[in-house]
Structure 1
Amino acid sequence: MQKEYTVTVYTEDRVGITNRISVIFTRRGINITSLTTAETEITGVYKFIITVMSTRDRLEKVIGQIEKLIEVHRAFVHDEDEVVYQELALYKISTKSLHNGDIEKIIRDNNARILTITPDYFVLEKTGHQQELIAMLQKLEPYGLIEYSKSGRVAIVKWSRRFHEHLKDLSLIEADSLKD
């Protein structure tokens, strides 16, 4: 049965690695619904957070292919309950709606914050799960929504401590080899 999974991939910083990873999903007919990548707390190690709809069996095969890439340290498949995650959304809304007190209540009730105000528009920021961000989008549409943009998933794995210790050891070994 297909369901949403979070895949984390720890890699070295190499040109083209995003393409090589995404092609593996494409070849298996798995659509990536969200992709976020950034450097980890360990210099030179990047973490890809990939959200997909698939079956666990298909993803296990994908992970096996990803881990064959030279630049990849490790890759993992996670169920929803194995990660803590958030997404970020920005909403650009006509400034005219600020004259209506209802929008202020929506902002407060949804724990959003105003990032900037201009004579023509203001920008709101909200973090949460995708359903929360879309629900707020629907609440804001009647108020002159001009633009909406959402990030991919940012996640921390609940059980990854041992692997992070391994990565830290690798970075210490690499640092020592650079001294020689």
Structure 2
Amino acid sequence: MVCSHCAEVLKEKLEENGFRVQKIELGELQLAETLDKAAYKRLVAVVRNNGFDIINDEASQIVERIKHLIIDHIRSGEPLDGNLSDFLSDRILKDYQQLSRLFSAVEGKSIERYFILQKIERAKELIVYGEKTLSEIAYELDYSSQQHFSRQFKKETGLAPSHFKNIKENKRTSIDQL
């Protein structure tokens, strides 16, 4: 799951199918009961029929944790206290090189690339809302300057942020499609 609305929808679907959801957050589901094999198969079917998947292996769980830490950090608007590698290592309690190799193997892109894509997607969202200047957006997304933000935005989207602001077509990509 990549958004709170997804968690709400999945919870509703699970409860409709007789599961008692104890906790559901981005990337995590806890049920109130232990499942037998038949109930587990039903759970998997409900989850998959709603566009999600169950992740049981440790590597995928770590990658999902990295994604959610990045998304939550970007949405917070707070600058990193240090660098991205320290931020992730401190929260996951693993060496960054190990996290980086694992992420690249599972996702086919680096953590840094994923981080940039998430920042650009957040920038698109903020531009579409139209409540902040490009300079404020650059600052919120922790770019060293508006010029650096504009260069990276143009590199990723093919458009300058000011041009993007003026177009009227669908401007955003779902987070789960990144």
Q: Same fold (TM over 0.5)?
A: no
**Bigger relative contact order, structure 1 or 2 (CA pairs below 8 A, ≥6 apart):** 1
Radius of gyration: which is bigger? 1
TM superposition score normalised by structure 2: 0.33
The structure whose residues are more often helix, as a share, is 2
TM superposition score normalised by structure 1: 0.32
The structure whose residues are more often strand, as a share, is 1
